[in-house]
Amino acid sequence: MHSTLTEHARCLWGDEYHPTPACDREHDEHYFIEELTFADADAILAMLRELCPHVVDGQLPVRIRNLAYRLVLLQWPGQPALLREAAQNLWLHGPDWDNIAAELTQEAEELEAR
């Protein structure tokens, strides 16, 4: 049984820095998505920072990282550091989201200028 979002993610996708724990459950990504959807921002950030501490690393799929950052930004709007972190993640994982990354960076700059 998983006691945290991080443990659940680690069971599904592994971890570059720690061994994947033994688990007696079947894993299905849609259950993780449900858990992520209703997780609080602290739990989501803990997962991102533990499994992907340097943004460019980690085995979380890009779609999971993008969703996780989006959910954190919805829960904690107006946080320049988080906006920049999310933007950096988008820039590192494909040109498809460069315009969104630029918007997030611009928003962070505007918030800090106030």
* 18-68 pLDDT, tens digit each: 887 778 777 789 999 999 999 999 999 999 999 998 888 889 999 999 999
The Cα–Cα gap between 107 and 110 comes to: 5
- Residue 53: enclosing H or E segment and its boundaries? none
Which residue would you say has higher pLDDT here, 81 or 28?
81
- How far is the first Cα of the chain from the last one, in angstroms, to the nearest whole number? 46
Contact 16, 60 (CB under 8 A): no
The Cα–Cα gap between 33 and 56 comes to: 22
pLDDT at residue 1 in the model: 61
Percent of the chain with pLDDT over 70: 99
Contact 32, 9 (CB under 8 A): yes
The pTM of this model reads 0.91
